[in-house]
Amino acid sequence: MGGKAARKRILSGMRPTGRLHLGNLVGALWNWRMLQDDYDCFFMIADYHALMSEYEKPASIPANVREVLIDFLSCGLDPERSVIFRQSDVVEHAELHLVLSCYTPISWLERNPTYKEQLQQLADKDLHNYAFLGYPVLQAADIVLYKANLVPVGEDQLPHLELTREVVRRVNALVGQEVFVEPQAKLTASPRLLGLDRRKMSKSYGNQIDIADPPEVIHKKAMSMITDPLRIKKTDPGHPDDCNVCAYYKIFAPTTADDVADKCRNAKWGCTDCKRHLAEVLTTFLSEPREKRAELEAHPERLREVLAEGATRARAVAQQTMDEIKTLTGLGKL
Ligand code: SF4
């Protein structure tokens, strides 16, 4: 009887810059939770990546690591099945970053299309530091350290992954061995969820609903949502397909979305009623993660255990990869 084929490995991560929001839930966590069934998953809390932008006020990073870990666990990431770890607990990330930096031409980083975009998006931070230019190299190290075969990405992140693949090809060619695996994109079609003001949902815009928001905050935020701009009076027929509120119903209460659209088009209810009801839908939807969060907050030792266990498992793989690349590059040998 043949053994079971080895499962493919997946690496993904999140920067700990605060609590996660519905955009993170819909765009990443739902997908990650499913991937655990079929893949060998490594989920990283990328605190080195957070330091790149938060270096002026790093005191927030530990609390944010804790928040992201609670969000991971309360949304179904399972430390029994997946390796859930903090990046800086595995020092090999920094070590491999330096090795890969030696193999990465500066021009590859300067042409990175998201570099300038990020500089603009995070205009409140001074990101003209050496580390920020090189963050795709750290990302490459994060992935290849675990020889991940697949990286879940959206279309917009494909250039990053391409850079990782280029670095892998260059290192493998120069050391004369396939030491690193060229990761493939695992493209995921996730529903598009905009922020309360119809811009991209982002903490930097302050237009997000956090997974951990209590009911009264969810209510306040839902009531502030921008709706169909053409619907002025309650008696005006609305255009649900142009309304962000209806888009939320489609994602979080798909079975009621047709009814909501009908009431909107035929002016059977006003936007205030519609948003109030959405707040109830979201409150119910988020009740399970909220309960799990309360449980974890009451048992902080559980969080420490998860990180310790994750670090041990991640380090075992990372050290092996570092040994291989050190041998091939003559580091640490006489
Ligand atoms: S009734 Fe609802 S779906 Fe229609 S415009 Fe108002 S908030 Fe949007």
DSSP state of 45: E
Q: What is the pLDDT of residues 157-210, one digit of tens each?
A: 788 899 999 999 999 999 999 999 999 999 887 888 999 999 999 888 899 999
What amino acid is encoded at 204 in this protein?
S
Q: What is the pLDDT of residues 71-129, one digit of tens each?
A: 999 999 999 999 999 999 999 999 999 999 999 999 999 888 778 777 777 777 888 88
Return the C-alpha torsion angle 115, 121, 125, 128, nearest 10.
20
CA of 25 to the centre of ligand 1 (A): 23
* Measured CA distances, 26 to 74, 211, 238, 252 (Å): 14, 11, 26, 10
Out of 197, 241, 259, 264, give the residue to mutate to test ligand 1, the one with the largest number of ligand atoms within 8 Å of its CB: 264
Out of 223, 260, 271, give the residue to mutate to test ligand 1, the one with the largest number of ligand atoms within 8 Å of its CB: 271
pLDDT tier at 299, thresholds 50, 70, 90: very high
Residue 228 Cα: closest atom of ligand 1: 5
CA dist 34 and 70 (Å) reads: 18
> Which two structure tokens, joined as six digits, stand for 55?
């270096």
Compute the radius of gyration of the chain from its Cα atoms: 22
Decide: 227 and 244 in contact? Cβ < 8 Å.
yes
Within 113-189, residue ranges assigned H as helices are 113-121, 130-133, 135-144, 158-175
β-bridge partners, 178? none
CA of 307 to the centre of ligand 1 (A): 43
* Measured CA distances, 179 to 9, 92, 95, 325, 328 (Å): 16, 16, 16, 7, 9
**Whole-structure pTM value:** 0.93
Tell me the CA end-to-end span of the chain in Å, nearest whole number: 45
Average confidence (pLDDT) over 5-25: 94
For the chain, how long is the longest CA-to-CA vector?
83
Residue 154: pLDDT over 90: no
pLDDT tier at 2, thresholds 50, 70, 90: very low
Q: How far is CA 43 from the centre of its chain?
A: 9
Residue 246 Cα: closest atom of ligand 1: 3
- Residue indicated by tokens 């907050």: 297
Decide: 321 and 147 in contact? Cβ < 8 Å.
yes
Order of strands, sheet of 9-14, starting from the edge strand that comes earlier in the sequence: 83-86, 40-45, 9-14, 150-153, 184-187
Decide: 12 and 32 in contact? Cβ < 8 Å.
yes
CA of 246 to the centre of ligand 1 (A): 6
Residue 265 Cα: closest atom of ligand 1: 4
Average confidence (pLDDT) over 230-253: 94
β-bridge partners, 151? 185
Buried b (16+ CB within 10 A) or exposed e, 313-331: bbbebbeebbeebeebbee
Which residue, judged by its Cα, is nearest atom 6 of ligand 1? 271
CA of 37 to the centre of ligand 1 (A): 37
Pocket of ligand 1 (CB under 6 A): 227-228, 231, 238, 240, 243, 245-246, 260, 264, 271, 274-275
